[in-house]
Structure 1
Amino acid sequence: MHSSASNPLYRLGSRNLSVYSLLAVFTLWPYLALANGTAGQLGTGQSDFGGVGIMQTPTARMHPLGEMSVSFSRTEPYRRYNVFFQPTEWFEGGFRYVEVENRRGGELFDRNLDKGFDAKFRLLEETRYWPQFAVGARDIGGTTLFGAEYFVASKRWYDFDFSAGFGWGYLGNAGDITSPLGWLSDRFDERSSSSGSDGGEFNTGQFFSGPAAFFGGIEYQTPWNPLVLQLEYEGNDYANEPQNNNQTQESRFNAGARLAISDNTELHAGWQRGNTAMAGITFNLNLAGLSQVKDDPRPIALGAEPQADWAAVSQVLNDNAGIQVERISRQGDSITVTAQPERFRSLAQSEGRANRILHAQADANIDSFRFDWQERGLPLRTSVHNREHFVQAATSSDLEYTHRYGIYAQASLKNSAGETLYEAPSQRFSWQLSPQIDQNFGGPDGFLYRLKAVLNAEYQTDPNGWFSGSLAWTLLDNLDNYEYIADSDLPRVRTFIGEYLSESSFGVEHLQYTRTAKLSDNVYAMGYGGLLEMMYAGVGTELLYRPFDAPWALGADVNWVRQRAFDQRFDLRDYSTWTGHLNAYIETGIEDVLAKVSVGRYLAGDVGATLDFSREFESGVRIGAWGTWTDAGDDFGEGSFDKGLYLAIPLDAFFTFSSRDRATLRWQPLTRDGGARLNRQYELYDLTQERQMGRYWEEYNRMWR
């Protein structure tokens, strides 16, 4: 499921994130990545600032595709908390928080925290004769207290990895040379002393400007493989530290070491500035390679005994193939199963298991099995398998070729009635009680959390319509730490979140009726009304134009909403508004990146656009970032524009049972009223994901699992 800025976190981050999912992430972290983790390997360590580097200096190295690194380091008076990602082979990005121990945070907060974003781009891969080259920037938004830009090269020689480069800003404070780019323009001669004081702004006037300094270093892989020794020469002289916090430096040489204590965890320590100790720890997780051995029921044998009737077949299809059957019918020599996938992320796996079940049940006159896949009553696509070719391929892998290239996939068309063998009841009820956690980290008030028990229930009136709702009871929280510090004249459409979370420990998070329809071959529609989310009630509708297997889609949503009372029951406040967007989704074809552009009116009445980029790996993990710019201007307040990162991880990667569900972790530095979007429970683009073939053919081997 695509996760984007259209599901804002309010103040507390991801909603409906199971506490079991969080425990799985942090408890199983060391065991989930592939065995060949990067900890202790030459040229893969995280610098003190995060990102691949030595200690204070970056290198041109990159992590393997999909790597995520969470690290902490302390070098008095700085504590650095870093999260970095490798979404492509040539780009590294991440964010950090620097806590300045000997400075107060201001009138409201004791802790002095400065956030920053980093980016590094590989310009040239290493060859036998050429080093690897990269260009990058640190702390590129906001106050840019530790802002720096650099060019760096790295070359490996046996058990040594050498790096050398030059940097500006924090990496170039020693001022070894005048501006290297001054000959291009006078702009590069002097570095601007101003920064984006409002936070969140990109101060491009500083980029690659002013004096620069040289830096470099060496890493040595010792004969004891877990240990890597480090020596670096840094470009900072600590004589121009942020907040007049200058430090004594007795040497520009730093020495350190990295020690792997598992495939994915390493400790690092060093001696910096000639007089200061450094210590830290790094956890690595390869998002692209997440996997877990499954304990699912085995596919039934080809020669299994038939079931008593087709109702029993429907149950076996649910239990073994993981699909919710709506109808089973026969037309001529073909059996058609109309169903919704429920368990396996790969439709190829569901179809392979279902083929075995149908083969055991169908009489000899049936030549093909057809699957009409749908979601919430919306027809999405159809797959047709030749029965004889499937059985041959299941018997001998040498015959898979005929079956694989004989599968017929197309957009779902209107079916002729045929003979109904089984039809599921139209009305269904389901519920679930589970612990969940809302969380947010990175704001000025630190890590906030709310542990709650949530009762989710759904009553399906027919395949296209359903009532859904959730009740939440707070069990444990630290929301007393929340402070509203926004300086904005916009209506308070999101910054009342503290009042919503503290008014009552029990509330109705949402209660609505939703209905879907397919208006034509490529046009889908959805309408909804009720208590749409924690803070808003109202009605809305959405349209989506999505051609079959096309790399793009267009949609629009329109909503009238009114703010709910703080106790999250059924009373409403006075504020009401219209909000809606035109949405474009584009599979770029570049590194599996999905781009989403939304233009429209936000909850505070401001008008603007949201740009969202995300990438899904073969493991099912999706990583993304978004930003929203509106005409709120100075009224937005600190932060300048809305932005955030998110990580959607399939539960399938953590547990021994297969699942199509995901846990979503989000990071949003500040909650503001500008650029705020309605948190809709369902979106047509998500519901119609199987409209696109995706990796179906690459996942063909899952047919036999």
Structure 2
Amino acid sequence: MQGVRGCLSSCHFLLSTIPLLSTSLPVLLAVTPLPSFAAGLGPGQSDFGGIGLMQTPTARMAETGHFAASWSRTAPYRRYSVFVQPTDWLEAGFRYVSVENRLFGPSIAGERDYLDKGIDAKLRLREESRYWPELAVGLRDAGGTTQFGAEYLVASKRWHDLDFTLGLGWGYLGNAGDVDSPLGWLDERFDSRPGDAGGDQGGEFALDQLFRGPMALFGGVEYQTPWDPLVLQLEYEGNDYANEPQQNDQPQDSRVNLGARLRLTDNIELRTGWQRGNTAMAGVSFSTNLAGLAQVKRDPPPRPLDAAPEESWPAVANRLQENAGIRVREIRQQGDDLTVTGEPTTFRNLAKSEARAGRILEANADETVETFSYRWQNRGLDLREDVHDRAAFTAAAASSEEARDHRYGLYAHANLGEPTGELLYRAEPRRFSWSVGPAIEQNFGGPDGYLYRLSAYASAEYATDPNGWFSGSLTATLADNLDEYDYIADSELPRVRTFIGDYLAEADVGISNLQYTRTARLGDDWYAMGYGGLLEMMYAGAGGELLYRPFNSPLALGADLNWVRQREFDQQFGLRDYDTWTGHLSAFLETGIEDVLAEVSVGRYLAGDIGTTLDLSREFDNGVRVGAWATFTDAGDNFGEGSFDKALYLSIPMDAFFVRSSRNRASIAWQPLTRDGGARLNRRYRLYDLTEERDLGRYWEDYDRSWE
């Protein structure tokens, strides 16, 4: 579910990848505490969200992977925010500000409070040392209406139980105008700050505002009390509340604010304060560390090296599935090499699958076998082969002191020809599989208020052969408040996405997907995929994708082309009149910087507009991926509110929550508005995802844990 016009911003929590009931082995959910955030001085959330004092930021950064969701109220403002720390030097997040004494207006949302949206970022310039403070630069409310837009340079220094902060603020943080622009000597344009720099529709980056206009000092101090959960705050802010957005000026008796943070648990903190000399503040924050999400596993233990051999090669294949997480397609012996061809099903780390499989093969291979090879596939596509020296593997499995020789004798390659040698086992085709699960879709951030849909899905697949399969999904609404949904928009583009309310309101049970997909490997580094049917909730059609992905290369190139036609609102088999061609050329680059993946796509979107999407994401060691994307097209003024499309998202491996290992994932995404500009086809499968094992990734980093 997505939003429309400012009316519907969205925060999705989709569990469509979680098989609660399925033909596969069930997993057990364990209730364990979430990883805590660093307590004490420094990491508290500000009223605006992001680490700071109350109204002002500090130079402090949280631990890498830190996540915080916050709420605060200082009349007439209520603020809701989500912030993440993707790297140790970057903090980013988004915020809603509900203005209690201003309305969207009768023509939009009647008596609902006005809601503003914004994106923040803070960049650390220097870490704290014995003599130097921590130094950071940041932007507040960038890429929105910029009604609360600000820029700042800030320093923080700790001394025993005190943490001092001093900063320079422009825009909302500098409205008190203590001094004229210090940058005016560079160019007289810095002397004044333009208004409405976010554009008529909002959403534009206000580059002509940056560090312009008068500047004010801000700062403060935090004191860690002898009672560990309590931190006291004193703040001097740079805003005088005489130039508030929407002519909503507030009386201010003092620029000094007083506050306190009280930590209730490792993850929940209460905040209170007295601001402007006349107004109370209250807030609450929930924090955790995404990079620390993990669960103690209760997987079956690895087979002992001296285990009795299985009765037959089919029994070996079953054991490889149950214990090593390999769905075996073939087992062959060529001379002194024993090769297992299959797909990973359980462990995210293939080194762990191979370490477990080697123990099983050791008990069943004859004395002539000297190497164990694992030929990894996905959806019938050959991806790579990992080769282990049998003697070195057996020694390493028996004693960690021998692991070095095994590690340096292990190698992987992608020169995969047709399988040869004696066929010991070939699996019967795996024809049918199914799963069911829940999904909750939420929208918050516009005149319609909070909208939700709680639903259940049922998915099934039927494989015609290893490279081809039919897939389908039914989605049933269990509860919703979509009767409050209303569409208001000023875009002149075709309504390719903003019929979302009609789709969700008209069908309690709908076919969200029904397609046939086929894959092929065209060469050593070339992969292809074709598909056709009901491709997603709103579109039916056919398309294809081509991917060039050299083995273990940081760069991959892809292209997709699709002809689609809009589906009827009842999500059955009927089609509407609108049809179009859409497709993109894409480049994927593992940057080598903080495990960041950059994806750039250029092409034609569903509304016929031409543009570019930039997606940056970072994956932590535990598999959690956090990212953001932005789309810019040639729609210009026809784009509608927001002026460009953007979203933040999390992809969380279910392995982090369950006591049994799993390769399934859940996704959480926030997209502030649903627009017709920059709208992409929601393809169910992507070759880049299907071929992820072409990249060795953290194989060597995870090697030591593979013996567990």
* Short-chain TM bin: over 0.9
Verify: 1:645 aligned to 2:644, yes or no.
no
- 8 Å CA contact 1:441–1:667 kept in 2: the answer is no
- 8 Å CA contact 1:18–1:437 kept in 2: the answer is no
Compare 236-245 and 393-402 and name the one that shifted more. Answer: 236-245
The equivalent of 1:119 in structure 2 is 121
The equivalent of 1:155 in structure 2 is 157
Verify: 1:249 aligned to 2:228, yes or no.
no
Give the C-alpha shift of residue 287 in structure 1.
1.3
The equivalent of 1:511 in structure 2 is 514
CA distance in 1 between counterparts of 2:240 and 2:273 reads 17
Verify: 1:537 aligned to 2:536, yes or no.
no
- Give the alignment of 1:133-282 within 5 angstroms: 133-196=135-198, 197-282=200-285
Compare 460-469 and 262-271 and name the one that shifted more. Answer: 262-271
Give the C-alpha shift of residue 434 in structure 1.
2.0
Compare 269-278 and 457-466 and name the one that shifted more. Answer: 269-278
The equivalent of 1:60 in structure 2 is 59
> For residue 100 of structure 1, what is the amino acid of its counterpart?
V
Verify: 1:666 aligned to 2:669, yes or no.
yes
CA distance in 2 between counterparts of 1:67 and 1:433 reads 31
Give the C-alpha shift of residue 30 in structure 1.
8.2
The equivalent of 2:23 in structure 1 is none
Give the C-alpha shift of residue 611 in structure 1.
0.9
- 8 Å CA contact 2:12–2:669 kept in 1: the answer is yes
- Give the alignment of 1:412-561 within 5 angstroms: 412-561=415-564
CA distance in 2 between counterparts of 1:257 and 1:606 reads 50
Distance 1:446 1:325, change over 3 A: farther
What secondary structure sits across from 1:389 in the alignment?
Answer: helix
> For residue 164 of structure 1, what is the amino acid of its counterpart?
L
Verify: 1:98 aligned to 2:97, yes or no.
yes
- 8 Å CA contact 1:337–1:371 kept in 2: the answer is yes
- Give the alignment of 1:39-50 within 5 angstroms: 40-50=39-49
The equivalent of 1:346 in structure 2 is 349
What secondary structure sits across from 2:318 in the alignment?
Answer: helix
What is the alpha-carbon root mean square deviation over aligned residues? 1.7
Give the C-alpha shift of residue 154 in structure 1.
0.6
Distance 1:398 1:130, change over 3 A: same
- 8 Å CA contact 2:9–2:444 kept in 1: the answer is no
What secondary structure sits across from 2:700 in the alignment?
Answer: coil
Give the C-alpha shift of residue 269 in structure 1.
1.0
What secondary structure sits across from 2:104 in the alignment?
Answer: coil
- 8 Å CA contact 2:327–2:343 kept in 1: the answer is yes
CA distance in 2 between counterparts of 1:30 and 1:308 reads 40
- 8 Å CA contact 1:267–1:281 kept in 2: the answer is yes
CA distance in 2 between counterparts of 1:132 and 1:28 reads 40
TM-score (norm 2): 0.95
What secondary structure sits across from 2:673 in the alignment?
Answer: coil
- 8 Å CA contact 1:11–1:497 kept in 2: the answer is no
Give the C-alpha shift of residue 498 in structure 1.
1.0
What secondary structure sits across from 1:371 in the alignment?
Answer: strand
Count of residue correspondences: 689
- 8 Å CA contact 1:124–1:133 kept in 2: the answer is yes
Distance 1:313 1:659, change over 3 A: same
> For residue 337 of structure 2, what is the amino acid of its counterpart?
S
Verify: 1:410 aligned to 2:413, yes or no.
yes
CA distance in 2 between counterparts of 1:500 and 1:416 reads 48
Verify: 1:389 aligned to 2:392, yes or no.
yes
Give the C-alpha shift of residue 439 in structure 1.
2.9
The equivalent of 1:607 in structure 2 is 610
Give the C-alpha shift of residue 253 in structure 1.
0.9
Structure 1 unmatched runs, 5+: 1-8, 22-26
Give the C-alpha shift of residue 266 in structure 1.
1.1
Give the C-alpha shift of residue 412 in structure 1.
4.8
Deviation digits for residues 612-650 of structure 1, max 9, x if unmatched?
111111110111111111111111111101111111011
What secondary structure sits across from 2:240 in the alignment?
Answer: coil
CA distance in 2 between counterparts of 1:61 and 1:11 reads 29
Compare 410-419 and 628-637 and name the one that shifted more. Answer: 410-419
The equivalent of 1:621 in structure 2 is 624
> For residue 527 of structure 1, what is the amino acid of its counterpart?
G
CA distance in 2 between counterparts of 1:416 and 1:677 reads 39
CA distance in 2 between counterparts of 1:412 and 1:429 reads 31
- Equivalent in 678, 681, 698 of residue 701 of structure 2: 698
Distance 1:623 1:556, change over 3 A: same
> For residue 43 of structure 2, what is the amino acid of its counterpart?
T
- 8 Å CA contact 2:647–2:671 kept in 1: the answer is yes
The equivalent of 2:5 in structure 1 is none
CA distance in 2 between counterparts of 1:702 and 1:525 reads 34
- 8 Å CA contact 2:11–2:669 kept in 1: the answer is no
Give the C-alpha shift of residue 603 in structure 1.
0.8
- 8 Å CA contact 1:12–1:449 kept in 2: the answer is no
Give the C-alpha shift of residue 186 in structure 1.
0.7
CA distance in 2 between counterparts of 1:454 and 1:162 reads 52
Give the C-alpha shift of residue 440 in structure 1.
3.3
- 8 Å CA contact 1:17–1:437 kept in 2: the answer is no
Deviation digits for residues 27-77 of structure 1, max 9, x if unmatched?
9998221x5x22x32111111001110111111111111111111111111
Distance 1:650 1:444, change over 3 A: farther
Verify: 1:365 aligned to 2:368, yes or no.
yes
CA distance in 2 between counterparts of 1:274 and 1:160 reads 23
- Equivalent in 628, 635, 638 of residue 635 of structure 1: 638
CA distance in 1 between counterparts of 2:551 and 2:19 reads 36
CA distance in 2 between counterparts of 1:448 and 1:59 reads 34
What secondary structure sits across from 1:579 in the alignment?
Answer: strand
Compare 576-585 and 477-486 and name the one that shifted more. Answer: 477-486
Give the C-alpha shift of residue 137 in structure 1.
1.3
- Equivalent in 650, 655, 658 of residue 655 of structure 1: 658
Give the C-alpha shift of residue 386 in structure 1.
1.2
Give the C-alpha shift of residue 18 in structure 1.
6.3
Deviation digits for residues 179-222 of structure 1, max 9, x if unmatched?
11111111110111223231101122221111111111111111
CA distance in 2 between counterparts of 1:460 and 1:452 reads 27
